[in-house]
Structure 1
Amino acid sequence: MNICVVALGKIGLPLAVQFAAKGHRVIGADVDGETVRLVNEGTPPFPGEADLDVKLKRAVQAGLLSATTDTAAAVAESEAVVVVVPLFVDAAGTPDFGWMDSATRDIARGLRPGTLVSYETTLPVGTTRTRWAPMLEQWSGLTAGTGFSLVFSPERVLTGRVFADLRRYPKLVGGIDEGSARRGTEFYAAVLDFDARDDLPRPNGVWDLGSAEAAELAKLAETTYRDVNIGLANQFARYADTVGVDVTAVIEACNSQPYSHIHRPGIAVGGHCIPVYPQMYLWNDPAATVVRAAREANVAMPGYAVDLLAAAYGDLSGAGVLVLGAAYRGGVKETAFSGVFPLVEGLRARGAVPYVADPMYTAAELAALGLPPHAGEPVTAAVVQADHVEYQTLAPADLPGVRVLVDGRRVTDPARWTGVRRVVIGG
C-alpha cells in the first residue's frame, strides 16, 4: 500500500514508521519544514520514543518512508490517509479546530476516488460524520462512503512506548458506513501486529465498534475515566492529610481486590490527553457533573501543593523555591498542560521567588517557555513536580540550604532526606 500520515508528531511519526516496517510505502506530511528535513535524514525530531531512532533510520534507508510539506501531493499518491493533527481546547473547553480544518482541506484537495481516510486525533462525538465528511466532500468533489471511505480510529498509545502499545491494545475502528468500516478494519489489520492476550472479551486485533460515533465516544470515555479516577484519588489524598493517614497504603489495600482500581494522587495532571479530553466530553455532555467535578479537583492540585509547602515552611515571602521538573511527566520532554506553570504562578502569588530545573531541558529552553531557570541561586525549599528517574536518588546535598521538600510525585527516597522536612500529598 501507499499510505500518507498527516502530522509527524510524537504519535504520527511512530505510526508512519510502524506502517513502513510492515513493508508499505509511507509519505509523512507535516507543516514544519525542519521536522520534514530531519525525518528525511532518518533522525527523530524529538527525543524519548523507544526504538524510534533505529526503526526510523531503517525505514528511510529502505526507501519506505519519506516526508514532505505538501499534504495534498502526498495524499494524491496514497490509498490510505491517517490523520494525527493535534486538536486543542481553549480556556472555556471549546475545541479549536483550526489546525485540523486546514489539514482536512489539504487532504481533500489531493483525495482520489477509493481512498480511505482515517482520523486518529481524539475528537468530540459526531465530528467525523458532521464536520470532516462534509468538508472532505466540499473540497474533493467526492461523496463520503461511495467516493471515499471515512473512519475514526483513536490512537490509544502513550508517548515513549508507542510501538509496544500498538501491539498491546486492540485497535478500535468506527466507520460512517459499513463499507468504510470494512476498509478501515482491513487497513489496520495490514499495518499493525497484536500481542496475544487472554484478558480481553474478544481476541486482540482490530475491533469494529459499529459507527464513528461509538469509536469517538470510546476514546473520550477511556481517557475521561482516568481523569475522574485521578480526581477521586486526589480527594482521598487531601482528606488523608487531614486525618494523618498514608493514602498510598490505603489505595494499595483497596486495590488488592478486583473491584477497586484507584489511581495514584499527584501534584498535577498534564499532557495532551487527560486534561483535554474530559473537556471535549463536557462539550458534548455539559450535564456531566461527575466529570466536571473531577476536572476541577485535578486543576486545584498545584495550588494545594503550594499550600502544603507554606504550611510546612511558613511565610514564603522572598523564599527561593526550586520546582523540580518542567515536563508534565517523567522521562518525556513535553510541557503540555504541565503543573509547572500553575506552580510557578502560585509560588509567585505567595511572594516566593521560584526557579525551575529539569534534566531534559536547558536553561535557554526553560526561559523560552517563560519559566525561570535555576542558575545556582540559593533556594530554601523545593517542590518535585515531575517523576523523572533522576529524582529517585536526589538528596539534601544536591540542594544545599533546602529546609522543606514537597514531593508531589512520591519519587524521592525518604531515607535520603533525614534532616529536611519532606512532605508528600496524602500523608
Structure 2
Amino acid sequence: MQICVVALGKIGLPLAVQFAAKGHRVIGADVNEKVVELVNAGVEPFPGEAELDVRLKEAVEAGLLTATTDTAAAVAQCEAVVVVVPLFVDAEGVPDFGWMDAATKAIAAGLRPGTLVSYETTLPVGTTRDRWAPMLAEGSGLTAGEDFHLVFSPERVLTGRVFSDLRRYPKLVGGIDEASAAHGVSFYEAVLDFDERPDLARPNGVWDLGSAEASELAKLAETTYRDVNIGLANQFARFADRAGVDVTKVIEACNTQPYSHIHQPGIAVGGHCIPIYPRMYLWNDPEATVVRSAREANAAMPEYAVDLLAAAYGDLTGASVLVLGAAYRGGVKETAFSGVFPTVEALRARGAVPYVSDPMYTAEELAAHGLPPHRGEPVTAAVLQADHAEYRDLTAADLPDVRVLVDGRRTTDPARWAGVRRVVIGG
C-alpha cells in the first residue's frame, strides 16, 4: 500500500516506521520543516523512543519512508491516510480543534475515491462522524462512506515503548458505516503485528467496536479510568498521612485480591493523555461527578507536596528549593502538563526560591520552558517530581545543604539519605 501519516510526532513517526517495516510505502506529512528534513535524512527528531533510531534509518534507506510538508500532495498519492495531529483542551475542557481542522482540510484537498482515512488522535465522542466526515466531504467533493472510508482507531501506546505496545494491545477500530469498518480492519491487519495474548477473551488483533462513537469512547474511558484510579490512590495517601499509615503497604496488600487494582499515588499526573482526556470526557458528559472529583484531586497534588515540605521544613520564605525533574515522567524528555510547573508555582506562593534540574534537559532548555534552572546554587530543600532512574542513586552527599527531601515518586533510596528528613506522599 501507499500510506500517508499526517503529523510525525512521538506517535506518528513510530507508526510511519512500523508501516514501512511491513513493506508498505509511507509518506509522512508534517508542518515542521525541520522534522521533515531530519526524517528524510533518517535521523530521529526526538530522543527516547526505543528502536526508533535504527528502524527509521532502515526505512529511509530502503526507500520506504519519505517526508514532506505538502499534506494534500501526499494524500493524493495514497490509498490510506492515518491522522495523528495533536488535539488540546483548555482549562475548562473545551477542545481546540485548530490544528486538526487545518490538517483535515489539507487531507480533503488531496482525497481520492476509495481512500481510507483513519483518525488516531483521541477525540470527544461523535467528532469523527459529526465533524470530520462533513469537513472531508465538503473539501473533497466526495461522499463519506460511499466515495471514501472513515474510521476512528485510537492510539493506545506510551511514548518510549510504542513498538512493543503496538504488538501487545488489541487495535480498536470503529467506522462511520460497516464498509468503512471493514476497510479499517483490513488496513490495520496489514500494517501491524500482534503478540499472543492468552489472557484476552478475544484473540489479540484488530477489534471492530461497531461504530466510530464506541471506539472514541473506549479511548476516553480507559484513560479516564486511570485518572480516577490515581485520584483514589491520592485520596488514600492523604488520609494515610493523617493516620500515620504507609499507604504503599496497604495498596500492595489490597492488590493481592484479584478485584483490586489500585494505582500508586504521587506528586502529579502529567503528559498528553491522563490530564487531558478526562476533561475531554467531561466535555461530553458534564454530569460525571466522579471524573471531575478525581481530576481535581490529582491537580491538587503538587501543592499538597509543597504543604508536606513546609510541614517538615518550616517557613519556606526565602528557602532555596530544588525541584528534581522537569519531565512529566521518568525517562521521557517531555514536559506536557508536567507537575513541575504547579510545583514551582506553589513554592513561589510560599515565598521559596525554586530551582529545577533534570538529567534530560540543559539549563538553557529549562529556561526556554520558563523554569528556573539550577546552576549549582546552594539549596536547603528538595522535591522529587519525576521518577528518572538517575534519582535512585542520588544521595544526601549530592545535595549537602539539603535538610528536607520530599520524594513525590518514592524513587530515592532512604538508606542514602541519612541525616536528611525524607518525606513521601502517603506515609
- TM-score, length-normalised on structure 1? 1.00
Give 1:143's aligned residue. Answer: 143
Q: Counterparts of 1:234-253 in structure 2 under 5 Å?
A: 234-253=234-253
How many angstroms apart in 1 are the aligned matches of 2:216 and 2:156? 12
Q: Counterparts of 1:304-323 in structure 2 under 5 Å?
A: 304-323=304-323
Amino acid across the alignment from 2:342: P
1:328 aligns with 2:335: no
CA RMSD of aligned residues (A): 0.3
Q: Secondary structure at the match of 2:333?
A: coil
Amino acid across the alignment from 2:196: A
Amino acid across the alignment from 1:317: T
Q: Deviations over 1:12-48 (max 9, x none)?
A: 0000000000000000000000000000000000000
Give 1:385's aligned residue. Answer: 385
Q: 1:132 deviation in Å? A: 0.1
Give 2:266's aligned residue. Answer: 266
Give 1:70's aligned residue. Answer: 70
How many angstroms apart in 1 are the aligned matches of 2:8 and 2:76? 18
1:4 aligns with 2:4: yes
Q: Deviations over 1:179-225 (max 9, x none)?
A: 00000000000000000011111000000000000000000000000
Q: Deviations over 1:127-166 (max 9, x none)?
A: 0000000000000000000110000000000000000000
How many angstroms apart in 1 are the aligned matches of 2:91 and 2:159? 24
Give 1:194's aligned residue. Answer: 194
How many angstroms apart in 1 are the aligned matches of 2:368 and 2:279? 28
1:356 aligns with 2:322: no
Amino acid across the alignment from 2:113: P
Amino acid across the alignment from 1:213: E
Give 1:399's aligned residue. Answer: 399
Amino acid across the alignment from 1:381: A
Q: 1:177 deviation in Å? A: 0.1
Give 1:289's aligned residue. Answer: 289
Give 1:343's aligned residue. Answer: 343
Q: Deviations over 1:272-309 (max 9, x none)?
A: 00000000100000000000000000000000000000
Amino acid across the alignment from 2:424: V
Percent pairwise identity: 84
Q: Secondary structure at the match of 2:382?
A: strand
Q: Secondary structure at the match of 1:423?
A: strand
Give 1:426's aligned residue. Answer: 426
Amino acid across the alignment from 1:390: E
Give 1:254's aligned residue. Answer: 254
How many angstroms apart in 1 are the aligned matches of 2:408 and 2:257? 27
Q: Deviations over 1:359-398 (max 9, x none)?
A: 0000000000000000011100000000000000000111
Amino acid across the alignment from 1:120: E
Give 1:213's aligned residue. Answer: 213
- TM-score, length-normalised on structure 2? 1.00
Q: Counterparts of 1:51-62 in structure 2 under 5 Å?
A: 51-62=51-62
How many angstroms apart in 1 are the aligned matches of 2:225 and 2:154? 16
How many angstroms apart in 2 are the aligned matches of 1:417 and 1:397? 8
Give 1:87's aligned residue. Answer: 87
Amino acid across the alignment from 1:195: D
Q: 1:92 deviation in Å? A: 1.1
How many angstroms apart in 2 are the aligned matches of 1:125 and 1:394? 45
Amino acid across the alignment from 1:168: R
Q: 1:400 deviation in Å? A: 1.6
How many angstroms apart in 1 are the aligned matches of 2:342 and 2:202? 43
Q: Secondary structure at the match of 1:139?
A: helix
Consecutive aligned runs of 4 or more in structure 1 exceeding 6 Å deviation: none
How many angstroms apart in 2 are the aligned matches of 1:4 and 1:306? 47
Unaligned ranges ≥5, structure 1: none
Give 2:164's aligned residue. Answer: 164
Q: Counterparts of 1:107-146 in structure 2 under 5 Å?
A: 107-146=107-146
How many angstroms apart in 2 are the aligned matches of 1:239 and 1:138? 55
How many angstroms apart in 1 are the aligned matches of 2:416 and 2:347? 25
Give 2:16's aligned residue. Answer: 16
Give 2:226's aligned residue. Answer: 226
How many angstroms apart in 2 are the aligned matches of 1:235 and 1:20? 45
How many angstroms apart in 2 are the aligned matches of 1:416 and 1:78? 57
1:173 aligns with 2:173: yes
How many angstroms apart in 2 are the aligned matches of 1:266 and 1:36? 37
Q: 1:329 deviation in Å? A: 0.1
Amino acid across the alignment from 1:420: V
How many angstroms apart in 2 are the aligned matches of 1:279 and 1:108? 29
Unaligned ranges ≥5, structure 2: none
How many angstroms apart in 1 are the aligned matches of 2:131 and 2:95? 13
Give 2:102's aligned residue. Answer: 102
Aligned length: 427
Q: Secondary structure at the match of 1:73?
A: helix
